């Protein structure tokens, strides 16, 4: 069994625009997120011209389904949903920003940032459980599309934890090794039985803006 999986984090949501932990909360895409979904569709269509994408599978949460839908239309396929691809439940952290949590309990936040496995938020889904669930889902998708390429739309933390598990990286270090998967960006893996190979990480799907020869691109100032 060998399959290529194009892992895509959903587009921007209202909570993510505010840096809130969305988790299992079913928050909607922003206008930016809807645009990112359309850009992903264009990217998927272009990719399929040279390397066909045979299927689209998403998390059951609305933000993932809404991101996947335009790509499925562009590819002429019916999107499927896999329950195992839902985001991690952040428990105490659900719906909060890091700043809000730090103001209430800085020790909990520090423990989480140092080791997300041993310092998981109270009431949250343990990283080991997230890894088992999401890896099982990804391997099921791969097994169901042997020899093909599948676009899989899900979530930042779910994907990062699963990637660490599949690549042999300690789960507690997922925030350090894989700080962030960008909205609507593609991470490409090859699943061959128990083996997983990483082919690309965080590939942008938005069209590139051309810069005239005499112009220089604007570089945003670094924070802090």
- List active site positions: 10, 87
d(C-alpha 34, C-alpha 11), whole Å:
7
DSSP state of 13: B
Residues 6 or more apart in contact with residue 135 via CB below 8 angstroms: 162, 165, 166
* 63 annotated among ligand-binding-site residues: yes
Question: Contact 159/188 with Cβ under 8 angstroms?
Answer: no
- Phi and psi at 159, nearest 5°, equal -65, -45
User: For 34-193, where are the E strands, in sequence order?
Assistant: 55-58, 80-81, 149-154, 186-192
Residues 6 or more apart in contact with residue 210 via CB below 8 angstroms: none
Which residue positions form the known binding site? 63
User: Which residues are documented as binding site for substrate?
Assistant: 63
């Amino acid at each position: 069994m060998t399959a290529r999986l194009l892992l895509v984090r959903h587009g921007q949501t209202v909570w993510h625009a505010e840096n809130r932990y969305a988790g299992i909360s079913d928050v909607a895409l922003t206008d930016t997120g809807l645009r990112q979904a359309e850009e992903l569709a264009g990217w998927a269509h272009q990719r399929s011209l040279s390397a066909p994408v045979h299927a689209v599978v998403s998390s059951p949460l609305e933000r993932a389904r809404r991101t996947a839908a335009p790509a499925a239309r562009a590819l002429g396929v019916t999107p499927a949903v896999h329950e195992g691809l839902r985001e991690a439940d952040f428990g105490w952290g659900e719906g909060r920003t890091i700043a809000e949590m730090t103001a209430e309990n800085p020790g909990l936040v520090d423990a989480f940032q140092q080791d997300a496995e041993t310092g998981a938020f109270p009431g949250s889904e343990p990283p080991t459980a997230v890894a088992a669930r999401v890896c099982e889902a990804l391997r099921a998708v791969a097994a169901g599309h042997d020899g093909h390429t599948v676009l899989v739309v899900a979530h930042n933390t779910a994907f990062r934890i699963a990637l660490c598990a599949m690549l042999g990286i300690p789960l507690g270090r997922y925030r350090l090794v894989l700080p962030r998967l960008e909205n609507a960006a593609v991470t490409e893996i090859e699943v061959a039985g128990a083996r997983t190979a990483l082919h690309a990480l965080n590939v942008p799907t938005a069209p590139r803006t051309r810069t005239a020869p005499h112009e220089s691109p604007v570089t945003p100032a670094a924070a802090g």
